[in-house]
Amino acid sequence: MPTLRLALAQMNPVVGDIDGNLEAVVERAHAARAAGAHVLVTPEMVLNGYPIEDLAYRATFIAASRAAVERLAARLADEGLGDLVVIVGHLDTAKTGALASLPDRLGVPKNAPTNSASVITGGKIVARYDKHHLPNYGVFDEFRHFTPGDETQIVQVGGVDVAVAICEDIWQDGPSAAADAAEAGLLVVLNGSPYEAAKDDVRLDLCARRAREGQCALAYVNLVGGQDELVFDGDTIVVDSGGELIARSPQFEEDLLVLDLDLPAATASMPAPGTRFHGLRVERTVVSAEPFPEPAERLLPKVAERWDDLGERYQALVLGLRDYVRKNGFSSVLMGLSGGIDSTLVGAIAVDALGADRVFGVSNPSAWSTEHSKSDAVELARRTGLALDTVAIASVFDAYQELLHLDGLAEENLQARVRAVIWMGLSNQHGHLVLACGNKSELATGYSTIYGDAVGGYAPIKDVPKTLVWELSRWRNAWAERRGETPPIPENAIAKPPSAELRPGQLDTDSLPPYEVLDAVLDAYVERDLGAAEVVAEGFDPALVERVVTLVDRAEYKRRQYPPGPKISRRNFGRDRRVPITTRWRESL
Amino acid sequence: MPTLRLALAQMNPVVGDIDGNLEAVVERAHAARAAGAHVLVTPEMVLNGYPIEDLAYRATFIAASRAAVERLAARLADEGLGDLVVIVGHLDTAKTGALASLPDRLGVPKNAPTNSASVITGGKIVARYDKHHLPNYGVFDEFRHFTPGDETQIVQVGGVDVAVAICEDIWQDGPSAAADAAEAGLLVVLNGSPYEAAKDDVRLDLCARRAREGQCALAYVNLVGGQDELVFDGDTIVVDSGGELIARSPQFEEDLLVLDLDLPAATASMPAPGTRFHGLRVERTVVSAEPFPEPAERLLPKVAERWDDLGERYQALVLGLRDYVRKNGFSSVLMGLSGGIDSTLVGAIAVDALGADRVFGVSNPSAWSTEHSKSDAVELARRTGLALDTVAIASVFDAYQELLHLDGLAEENLQARVRAVIWMGLSNQHGHLVLACGNKSELATGYSTIYGDAVGGYAPIKDVPKTLVWELSRWRNAWAERRGETPPIPENAIAKPPSAELRPGQLDTDSLPPYEVLDAVLDAYVERDLGAAEVVAEGFDPALVERVVTLVDRAEYKRRQYPPGPKISRRNFGRDRRVPITTRWRESL
């Protein structure tokens, strides 16, 4: 069996930074060469970043992408890397006639570009694969942006037939990537697969199934890094033709995974070029028909340890925040620290993401603030080293009330907004990015003040239900203890009953059901999209379900103006869930 | 030639209000019967409202829709309307095997419902057409939500073959609705076509072209009313087989257009049921093969007058605001009135939409407010009758500054935010919906204060460039004069140079190019998606283009948190333009 040495580059590109992303690929090519690799594979759309959304409509961006692939091919040859086979993801112009095989009535956009993988070697682009399956659900709008491909690409390298696919291609059933690979020795898959809790298990199962179906090894290379609401977790994996895991990159960091694979030699039984195979046109390219010399020393495949369930969610939040700050050119963040568990957890995440010297907390006590709300914020600052400033709101609040004489909810909201104006003023003065500290349970039910605690450029825990806020806080402290470090989160912030402290003695449970119940109902209604009657059938009180569902439906206007934050669940509040503000649909029981 | 009397119902349904929308259809059926009509046609999705967005994922909503069509059929018969042929738009479950003819690799969502038109008569649903073409561009996400149909439906009524199509079906070229109708006497098209400036001309041209291609008359029935960011303008039209306009409903109001059409009798040359015609399966239903008796009196077709170019845009803004307020259960609105032209125009629109007694303005003078900014607001109130309250901000501003000592831009923003908190406090206390008064030029360039002048539940002029703000203001005054009424907008508010009045002597032109130039560059870059070099090629200064493009790219984070408002242009800032916040792509020259 011929042996291929593969280098799989788990990379963190920046959307739109074509030059910077290209340099990063060149750098990985040097590293791959240094490690003796024959083939380097990048993630999906690595030259452009992902997702590019409506930048796909800009002719200038498409042209720049096309030029970049050609420039990359020349650069690699110039730098003595011409022998390496580089399979790189990028935006490109559609091939002529690409739409010919599609029913016209589907309205595939005309002149749309392609989501492509080019095979580069010897200073030239020798083959190009265009993604077939365009996901158009959840957070994805690919049918809006891309022309689907209808060709299978098989590239022979070192005597092994290598098939190429992109992300969604292996998630769909039917005549697709798995079938493409049926006669190949290796299927490489370029991915831009965003993190969701427990998705790594799903991905590994999927890769194993496709490998067994195709009876070929499968190398799955994923992006890593944050991009607006998405976090890519990496988790690049290789499985053998029996579906067994051979190698794995760590989650949430860049990596170059290099390994030797013994693969079956190409046979003459492959479908001939130009023929149709499972409805797709087969293209074949021979780069090198002779096996490479056996490597002097076999590389032992590395299988990185994974984070546990809570750990991976926490790390996703850290990476999402770090990349939003970094990629948007900020150097510091500011948040209101109420002493409550939400802002305390955000403070801990921010310190982990950026370092304590870039994190600024503001405590804004009011007449209704408890003593522990102030002391818990001080304790967080002491443990983590973040900077804490205190600005009492009474004088401003009183000045407003002399003008407005608000009461009830209006008076409660006023306190939250007085604080927000202070944070935004400090942000404008000092250039900090303001973080909104609301959790998913609040966002779902509208239990927050718009233009008050909801202000911010980024919302690190907007996809974290309250019960998970507590779990992650405990996990973070336990992680510190395991490493012999100070647990960052004051125990009292975890233990005390949650309160907005906008009136004397107020508790969240005055307005909401207990969070254990609320979060279970929200999981059913929001994440699993069940009807109210189905939620009740899961064992919840009908009146409570009706109340929660109504709260969710009526709070859409607030969510629409909420800052972006990292998606970690099956369905976050963002592009994942697009519902009308104006609707009279109410689930009946 | 047989004669059909058609009733075309231009209706304003509410999304999700299936019961209310059903009642409205029954009411139109009675009116159609009273007018002697044989056939009643509604707009697209009238039972559900449109667009329903991800409500399409809710099994409960789909089931309720299916039940509603059946209930409607029974109701019509019960109320003695069984003889009427009612063609009604609604959501439905996909037919078995609906996806069989589609390439699997397109990833059409499984179990997705259909965007359907049912033909109801004699208490039964006798035929159902499912929309073929699913728009997935601009504001539309239909490929995300619906299963496309692949059947042609021909229903013989009074001896005339009537073909059915839905909206996008007639916008796409190829074997589609126009071909369906090739052998029919009449094509009826159910539409949910949102308003865009000058779109009525485009629609009429399109209908005329399809009628000539199919050599059959065409009845185009559109929705009317506001739904979140969309405004449906109605403009229901009928053209004869030569493409000549015969009848037209007024824009921006409900209507029942009744007319007699002499149509060719059905011939035996039609494709047989079950055969395939241009790739689509033909279904035929005979409701009545005999021509109806000649009507005793011919109805003269009505051709409603259209608004002029500025008038229709103004009316779209009025209807969009009125429906957002009404359909979301508000009874009044509140806005900051600075005396500037933006808030003045919003005040005039609000009074036209809701009546002066539901419009509350607040003037918030600061140390930098000019005398005319106060007197122009007073003059607007005097002319329109809206309520004006004055709350000076100095005391609150000073209280903040004693704590924060902000300067520069931070100090300017502070003033805007102090005002916003006052508006939101009054809104919470009294239940008013707050209106944001920013225009499209500001939104494009980020020339506004987030959580300051940008607050609000709805933003009536967010899709109106500044130069159009002036034009619409002049148009509104001229319209009043033509009707012998008081022009609502003080001339000085139109004539004075625009200023945010956040520091002494400040003018918009300190920070921005003159609006005539700015708006022309924005039209090229935002609405027409040109690259920077192409914009320069249209005759603009390169440095200026680069500056404007950079401002637009950097302000996405503010737009993401801006309230919804009515789309009136080719591309509004909303679901029409989905770009990343995090991007380093910069147009180079």
- Which residues pair with residue A262 across a beta bridge? A3
Least confident of A276-285, B53-62, B575-584: A276-285
Two tokens at B376?
A: 């122009």
Give the distance from residue A417's alpha carbon to the nearest chain B alpha carbon, in angstroms. Answer: 7
pLDDT at B316 over 50: yes
Dist CA A370 CA B144 (whole Å): 49
Using the beta-carbon criterion (under 8 Å), do A327 and B584 form an inter-chain contact? yes
Q: Chain A contacts of B455, Cβ < 8 Å?
A: 450-451
Dist CA B21 CA B26 (whole Å): 9
Residue of B nearest to A149 (CA): B105
Per residue in B523-548, is it b (16+ CB within 10 Å) or e — as a string? bbbbbebbbbebbbeeebeeeebbbb
Using the beta-carbon criterion (under 8 Å), do A585 and B53 form an inter-chain contact? no
CB contact, 8 Å: B382 with chain A?
no
pLDDT digits 0-9 by tens, B25-75: 999 999 999 999 999 999 999 999 999 999 999 999 999 999 999 999 999
Dist CA A228 CA B49 (whole Å): 32
* ipTM of the complex in this document: 0.95
Using the beta-carbon criterion (under 8 Å), do A424 and B107 form an inter-chain contact? no
Catalytic residue among B70, B95, B167, B411: B167
Q: Which amino acid is at B371?
A: E
Using the beta-carbon criterion (under 8 Å), do B60 and A587 form an inter-chain contact? yes
Q: Which pLDDT does position B274 carry in this prediction?
A: 66
Least confident of A260-264, A314-318, A488-492, B110-114: B110-114
Least confident of A88-102, A329-343, A423-437, B302-316: A88-102
Using the beta-carbon criterion (under 8 Å), do B55 and A583 form an inter-chain contact? yes
Two tokens at B4?
A: 């059909």
Strands of B435-531, DSSP E: none
Interface of B with A in 291-310 (CB under 8 A): none
Pick the residue with more confidence: A34 or B150? Answer: A34
Q: Which pLDDT does position A587 carry in this prediction?
A: 85
The enclosing H or E element of B567 equals none
Contacts within 8 Å (CB) and 24+ apart, B577-580: B577/A54, B577/B526, B578/A53, B578/A54, B578/A141, B579/A53, B579/A54, B579/A55, B580/A15, B580/A16, B580/A51, B580/A52, B580/A53, B580/A55, B580/A227, B580/A228, B580/B556
Q: Which pLDDT does position B267 carry in this prediction?
A: 79
Give the distance from residue B229's alpha carbon to the nearest chain A alpha carbon, in angstroms. Answer: 10
Q: Helix (H, G, I), strand (E, B), or coil: what is residue A133? A: coil
Q: Which pLDDT does position A175 carry in this prediction?
A: 40
Among A469, A491, A468, A496, residue whose Cα is nearest residue A480? A491
Using the beta-carbon criterion (under 8 Å), do A104 and B176 form an inter-chain contact? yes
Two tokens at B61?
A: 């909503």
pLDDT at B218 over 80: yes
pLDDT at A279 over 80: no
pLDDT digits 0-9 by tens, A114-128: 999 999 999 999 999
CB contact, 8 Å: B585 with chain A?
yes
Residue of B nearest to A131 (CA): B105
Among B421, B562, B572, B587, pick the best mutation site for testing chain A contact (most A Cβ within 10 A). B421
Q: Helix (H, G, I), strand (E, B), or coil: what is residue B152? A: strand
pLDDT at A472 over 80: yes
Q: Chain A contacts of B578, Cβ < 8 Å?
A: 53-54, 141
B131 is catalytic: yes
Q: Which pLDDT does position B176 carry in this prediction?
A: 44
pLDDT at A177 over 60: no
CB contact, 8 Å: A17 with chain B?
yes
Give the distance from residue B26's alpha carbon to the nearest chain A alpha carbon, in angstroms. Answer: 19
Q: Chain B contacts of A433, Cβ < 8 Å?
A: none
Q: Which pLDDT does position B178 carry in this prediction?
A: 46
Q: Report the sign of the C-alpha dihedral through residues B551, B552, B558, B563, in that order.
A: positive
Comparing CB atoms, the residue among B135, B403, B428 nearest residue A410 is B428
Contact B131, B147 (CB under 8 A): no
Interface of B with A in 31-50 (CB under 8 A): 49
Average pLDDT over residues B537-552: 96
Give the sheet arrangement for strand B151-157, strand by strand: B245-248, B237-239, B217-222, B186-191, B160-166, B151-157, B280-286, B276-277
Q: Chain A contacts of B61, Cβ < 8 Å?
A: 585
Using the beta-carbon criterion (under 8 Å), do A132 and B172 form an inter-chain contact? no
Q: Chain A contacts of B152, Cβ < 8 Å?
A: none
Give the distance from residue A277's alpha carbon to the nearest chain B alpha carbon, in angstroms. Answer: 14
Q: Which pLDDT does position A178 carry in this prediction?
A: 46
What percent of chain A is modeled with pLDDT above 90? 81
Give the mean pLDDT of chain A.
93
Query: What does the DSSP assignment read for A279-343?
Result: TEEEEEEES--SPPPPPSSPPPPPBPPPP-HHHHHHHHHHHHHHHHHHHTT---EEEE--SSHHH
Among B99, B146, B582, B589, pick the best mutation site for testing chain A contact (most A Cβ within 10 A). B582
Q: Which pLDDT does position B174 carry in this prediction?
A: 47
CB contact, 8 Å: B528 with chain A?
no
Two tokens at A511?
A: 């307005």
Contact A47, A88 (CB under 8 A): yes
Least confident of A71-85, A511-525, B56-70, B191-205: B191-205
Give the distance from residue A584's alpha carbon to the nearest chain B alpha carbon, in angstroms. Answer: 5
Q: Which pLDDT does position A340 carry in this prediction?
A: 95
When mean pLDDT is compared over A72-76, A159-163, B277-281, the highest value belongs to: A72-76
Give the distance from residue B350's alpha carbon to the nearest chain A alpha carbon, in angstroms. Answer: 19
Contact B235, B203 (CB under 8 A): yes
Q: Which pLDDT does position A271 carry in this prediction?
A: 67
Beta carbons within 10 angstroms of residue A324's beta carbon: 29
HSE-CB of B377 using CA atoms within 13 angstroms:
24
CB contact, 8 Å: B568 with chain A?
no
pLDDT digits 0-9 by tens, B395-428: 999 999 999 999 999 999 999 999 999 999 999 9
Interface of B with A in 122-141 (CB under 8 A): 132-137, 141
Two tokens at B88?
A: 């009604």
Using the structure block, give the residue that is written with the tokens 């990985």: A28
pLDDT digits 0-9 by tens, B321-362: 999 999 999 999 999 999 999 999 999 999 999 999 999 999
CB contact, 8 Å: A54 with chain B?
yes
Two tokens at A372?
A: 């522990």
pLDDT digits 0-9 by tens, A340-377: 999 999 999 999 999 999 999 999 999 888 888 889 99
Query: What does the DSSP assignment read for B187-233?
Result: EEEEE--B--TTHHHHHHHHHHHHHHHHTSEEEEEE-EEEETTEEEE
Using the beta-carbon criterion (under 8 Å), do A580 and B532 form an inter-chain contact? no
Q: Chain B contacts of A577, Cβ < 8 Å?
A: 54
Average pLDDT over residues B496-511: 87
Q: Which pLDDT does position B104 carry in this prediction?
A: 58
Two tokens at A344?
A: 């305390």
Confidence of residue A278 (pLDDT cuts 50, 70, 90): low
Interface of A with B in 387-426 (CB under 8 A): 391, 395-396, 398-400, 402-404, 406-410, 413-414, 417-418, 420-422, 424-426
Least confident of A181-190, B166-175, B509-518: B166-175
Q: Helix (H, G, I), strand (E, B), or coil: what is residue B445? A: helix
Q: Chain A contacts of B329, Cβ < 8 Å?
A: none
Confidence of residue B9 (pLDDT cuts 50, 70, 90): very high
Give the mean pLDDT of chain B.
93
Q: Which pLDDT does position A174 carry in this prediction?
A: 47
Among B30, B341, B403, residue whose Cα is nearest residue A394? B403
Contact B187, B153 (CB under 8 A): no
Contact A447, A465 (CB under 8 A): no
Average pLDDT over residues B437-465: 98
Positions of A annotated as catalytic residues are: 44, 131, 167
Q: Chain A contacts of B583, Cβ < 8 Å?
A: 14-16, 49, 52, 55
CB contact, 8 Å: B17 with chain A?
yes
Using the beta-carbon criterion (under 8 Å), do B584 and A135 form an inter-chain contact? no
